[in-house]
Structure 1
Amino acid sequence: MSNIQILVGSTLGGTEYVAEAIQPLIEEAGFDSEIQFEPDLNSLSLQSEQVWLICLSTHGAGDYPDNFKPFVEQLQQVNAAISDVKYGIIGIGDSSYDTFCEAAKNIDYLLEEMAAVRVGDRLEVDVMDYPTPEDRVLDWIPSWIEDLTQIVEN
């Protein structure tokens, strides 16, 4: 089965907890996984099948967290389609801000423009409804894994 790279963009650390909570479920489903708290495109091959699960909070006025900005800048330098990349997105945000999950939406649009293939729907977790975001994510991840499994097997 595929190796899933869990790419984390976090300002205060809550998104890191989400990544750590979902990793055991991913591995129970038969996938290998690696959490990258400082994502670096240089450590990921764009020449072969890739699966990225992006766990991303929004910082400030809809910005990427500082640890994720270099990764986005690297992606923006790629002048080719990355159609071998399959990805999922978990956005963590606060709906009391008008930039709710803006970073997750922006990376989704960027990857779509680059011809990457999104698996399932983008999950947007509102910390107003889920003060412990991993609770919502743990409900969602089985369906994402099922969607991924169907794509990988075809």
Structure 2
Amino acid sequence: MMNKVNLVFGTVYGNAQFVAETIEQALLTSGYETKLWQNYELTGFVPPQSELLIVVTSTTGQGDIPDDLQPWFYELKSIAPYLPELQYGVVALGDSSYETYCQAGKQVDELLSELGAKRIGERLELDACETMEPEVDALTWLKSWNENLSSELA
């Protein structure tokens, strides 16, 4: 069973990092091995296909990927590794009062899909207009992500 989850986050004000840390704690409690990647560690990081990947990102500017996640995102895009065995999840934080709602999360999702990776379950879109506690919604999503994962591996 694949039981290592790599967590990558892109954050502007720290919310996405907090959500990623909350997910990490929940995964550890569930018996997964995890690695929460700090942005300076991501250079050259291609997610191993034998492990799982969860990307948590907020959106900035005109629907842009946060500055701390951009180098990794564009590096992955340019080397374009083929990742048909990689299973992943995306948690996107956004504000639905903007036209570019959760755009960074959508870009990450599209990139991973283009690289051949397989998303487990739905992408979670957390709306700052609706929730003051995105980490709580993230834990609910994680539970169903985990169930979808188990049925994939069965």
TM-score normalized by the length of structure 1: 0.91
Deviations 1:1-54 (A, max 9, x none): 4210010110110111101111122122221111113161524454x4131100
Identity of aligned residues (%): 31
Amino acid in the other structure paired with 2:42: D
Amino acid in the other structure paired with 2:3: S
Moved over 4 A (4+): none
Show the counterpart of 1:25. 26
Q: Secondary structure at the match of 1:42?
A: coil
Amino acid in the other structure paired with 2:66: P
Alignment of 1:57-72 (within 5 A): 57-72=58-73
Amino acid in the other structure paired with 2:77: Q
1:111 shift after superposition: 1.0
Q: Is the 8 A contact 1:29 1:145 kept in 2?
A: no
1:117 aligns with 2:118: yes
**How many Å separate the matches in 1 of 2:87 and 2:58?**
20
Unaligned 5+ runs, structure 1: none
Q: Is the 8 A contact 2:20 2:56 kept in 1?
A: yes
Root-mean-square deviation (CA, aligned residues, Å) is: 1.6
1:104 aligns with 2:105: yes
Unaligned 5+ runs, structure 2: none
Aligned residues: 152
Show the counterpart of 1:126. 127
TM-score normalized by the length of structure 2: 0.91
Q: Is the 8 A contact 2:46 2:76 kept in 1?
A: no
